[in-house]
Structure 1
Amino acid sequence: MTTTITYTPAVEDRTSSLPLRLMLAPVGAAPALLDGAWWPRSRDLTAELPTLTAVLDALWGRITHVTVNPTFWPVIPRKVPVDGHVVRVGWFKTEQDPHKLLLLSYTVGRWDLLVIPPETSPAVAARLMTEAADPLGTPTASALMDQAEQRRIAEEMERSLVSVWDHEGGLGASLPTSRSPVQAVIAQEPDAMKGI
């Protein structure tokens, strides 16, 4: 069973009343490449990480380190305060998938989350979250994002073709009035028979 967590920070530490958008793989599931997905509201790690790690502290033990790929994060703070402790933030350019967030805990271990870009549509984000939290899933974070982009392009092409079809009359369009295809075949038949 997949877990979706909605978390609203306590009043004293609330910077936003919007819930955390996070989906995790079921507890005790077979290890997969991803442990779930996180859909932050911005690309500001200083603002986004405290809520994420506060929720995960309760589930996975105190999160002590987070690493990201700087490709999609304009500013990477070295430390982020979270509920009375500090989470250290690091980055790896070539060693870490740019669409993945790595979380480390002293007590339990490591978790990898797909990071869904903040500007992603809700429908696409929901699909990505479900795929990332699938305990049988084998795609990497970048593979999931590539698949989502390919689906987006295919859907856009389909909408474009339907639009052209509708603009040209779609199913209501009439056939050329000079000669129907059946008449053309019948008209050619006697000539073809002359040589027999």
Structure 2
Amino acid sequence: MTATIPFTPAVGGQAPSSSPLRLTLAPVGAPPALIDGAWWPRSRSLTEQLPALVERLDPLWGRITRIAVSRTFWPVIPGEVPAHGHMVRVGWSPAGQDPHKLLLLSYTFGCWNLLVIPPETAPATAARLMATATDPSRSLTATGLMREAERLRAAAEAEAAAAAVADSDSLREAVWDAEGGHDARRPASRTPDGPVTGHMPARQ
């Protein structure tokens, strides 16, 4: 099963309480992978963001009892948060945990891993990451997916910049040709060791 909720822009820098969850999960029966889906939170506040995530996952994965995050991604880590009618314990894993991964422990089914897409990520990049994180052939870690997305973003920007330069060069060439090319801008001649000379009209 794949659960995907489209992006809804925040209003006034704050996400409205009715904003849909931005989550995508790998299809049921997909081969095991390092990542089981992707979550695009609207802020870096776990207290605000986790309840909606747990409410969506509880019916799918069984009751979520613990969540482990990386301290490098979240500025404040609460000890627990109320979600879907119960309390969920929140903590951080050792320093070796992938900073872009969220680890969820389910009372029923075990352990799940989600790619955490930074809230400030551009919609196009986030959409690409959410699709890649649920691709049946996926094999990268959370950080690997982020690095690949950054590489593709940088390549696209470089291609756009090169195209802009080419268009600018073509425009200058067209203007140059329209003005007569080199003949229209031929500089005045200089005599050896002398002043600038030009064609002066003959005196009457």
Q: TM-score range by the shorter chain?
A: 0.7 to 0.9
CA distances 1:72-126 after superposition (whole Å, capped 9, x unpaired): 1111111001122111011125221000000001211111000011111111111
Q: Structure 1 residues 83, 5: CA separation in 2 closer, same or farther (over 3 Å shift)?
A: same
Q: After the TM superposition, list the runs of 4 or more consecutive aligned residues in structure 1 that deviate by more than 6 angstroms.
A: none
Q: Does 1:133 align with 2:131?
A: no
The question of whether the paired residues in 1 share the 8 Å contact of 2:81 and 2:90 is answered with yes
Aligned partners of 1:68 and 1:90 also within 8 Å: yes
Identity %: 61
- Count of paired positions: 170
- The answer for the alignment partner of 1:39 in structure 2 is 40
TM, length-normalised to structure 1: 0.80
Q: Considering only CA atoms, is the larger Rg found in Structure 1 or Structure 2? A: 2
3-state SS of paired residue (1:149): helix
Tell me if the contact between 2:70 and 2:92 (Cα under 8 Å) persists in the aligned partners.
yes
Q: Please tell me whether residue 23 in structure 1 is matched to residue 24 in structure 2.
A: yes
Match in the other structure for 2:3: 3
- Taking the aligned partners of 2:95 and 2:168, their CA distance within structure 1 comes to 47
SS of equivalent residue, structure 2 residue 56: helix
State how far apart, in whole Å, the 1-side matches of 2:17 and 2:41 are: 12
TM-score for both structures, normalised by structure 2: 0.77
Corresponding letter in the other structure for 2:47: T
State the match for 2:80 in structure 1.
Answer: 79
- Give the whole-Å Cα distance in 2 for the aligned partners of 1:171 and 1:35: 51
- SS state of the match for residue 72, structure 1? coil
More helix by share: 1
Structure 1, 165-174 or 136-145: larger mean CA deviation: 165-174
SS of 1:139's equivalent? coil
Matches within 5 A, 1:1-196: 2-5=2-5, 16-169=17-170, 173=174
The one-letter code matched in structure 2 to 1:33 is L
Cα RMSD for the two superposed structures:
2.1
For 1:170 and 1:64, how far apart are their aligned partners in 2?
Answer: 62
